Amino acid sequence: MKMKELEARTGVNREAIRFYIREGLLPEPDKPRRNVAHYSEEHVERTRLIKKLQEDHFLPLKMVKSVLDSPQAELLTSNDVPGMAHFLPALLRDTEPGPNRTLGEVSEQSGLSREDIQALARLDAISISDEGSIDFRDAAIINAWGKAQEFGFNAARGYTDEFFAHYVEATKSLAEFEVERFFQHFDTQDGQSAAQQGASGIEIANSIITLLHTRFILQAIQRRTSEQEGS
């Protein structure tokens, strides 16, 4: 279809549609010739969804893009009410957002080999797509493990995949417990409100976990030191 029909079917003017394309919210149209563009049903559905997210949920374009880029987006239509899983990633401030990276790029940046990174995926610490791409949060995990290796926390000193697995199992178990508790008490909220509440909870929980982790490590060092001095 041409731009005129796309405008008529979505109620969105061409200036806004072109802006969405420039910002990556809509895919580029098919251009068989210069100054000729053909739009598809995907453009219709995604434009309607963008309009709904902005007008019904009052979302800024940054959050709209996060919703559209989420793994669940392909199941979402303009007739759906987006759930918490779509809104939450855009609200989290734990890691600077960025584009997906290839396995090779993350390997070069982190200093870890491809095999090391694939080992993390087998532990379910990260995910690697079928196309070999890694999202920014998983890339941050890989970079942190690479930094640990750089500082000497490596396999030669016992910091192996088995060691990392303890982090995975402990945090996964805690996350499952937290999510179960959250949905027991906040499940009646709409998706956006629940996501905002959840984002605040995650930020607070991360702070508590960091403080407790440091506290217990200091306690353990003190006990170990006292035992050595007493022996």
Q: Are residues 117 and 200 in the same domain?
A: yes
In angstroms and rounded to an integer, the radius of gyration of the C-alpha atoms of the chain is 23
Q: Which residue did the predictor score with more confidence, 126 or 192?
A: 126
Provide the pLDDT for residue 79: 65
Task: Specify whether 106 is located in the same domain as 77.
Answer: no
Do 53 and 146 lie in one domain? The reply is no
Mean pLDDT for all residues in the chain:
89
Element (H, E) at 197: helix 191-230
Asked whether residue 34 is domain-assigned, the answer is yes
Per-residue pLDDT at 189: 67
> Which pLDDT band, with edges at 50, 70 and 90, does 187 fall under?
low
Domain range enclosing 127: 101-230
Mark whether 115 and 77 lie in a shared domain: no
Q: Are residues 151 and 182 in the same domain?
A: yes
Say whether both 66 and 125 belong to one domain. Answer: no
Report d(CA 146, CA 174) in Å as an integer: 24
Whether 148 and 213 share a structural domain: yes
Q: What is the mean pLDDT of residues 182-198?
A: 79
- Is residue 87 one of the residues assigned to a domain? no
Q: How far is CA 23 from the centre of its chain?
A: 19
Query: 86 lies in a domain?
Result: no
Asked if 18 and 123 sit in the same domain, the reply is no
- Cα–Cα distance between 136 and 117 in angstroms, integer? 14
Residues 34 and 108 both lie in one domain: no
The mean pLDDT of 4-19, rounded to a whole number, is: 94
**The one-letter amino acid at 122:** R
pLDDT band at 87 (very low <50, low <70, confident <90, very high): confident
Per residue in 96-154, pLDDT tens? Answer: 888 899 999 999 999 999 999 999 999 999 999 998 999 999 999 999 999 999 999 99
The band of 76, judged by pLDDT with boundaries at 50, 70 and 90, is low
Q: Are residues 196 and 127 in the same domain?
A: yes
Q: What pairs with residue 199 in β-bridges? A: none
Residue 95 lies in a domain: no
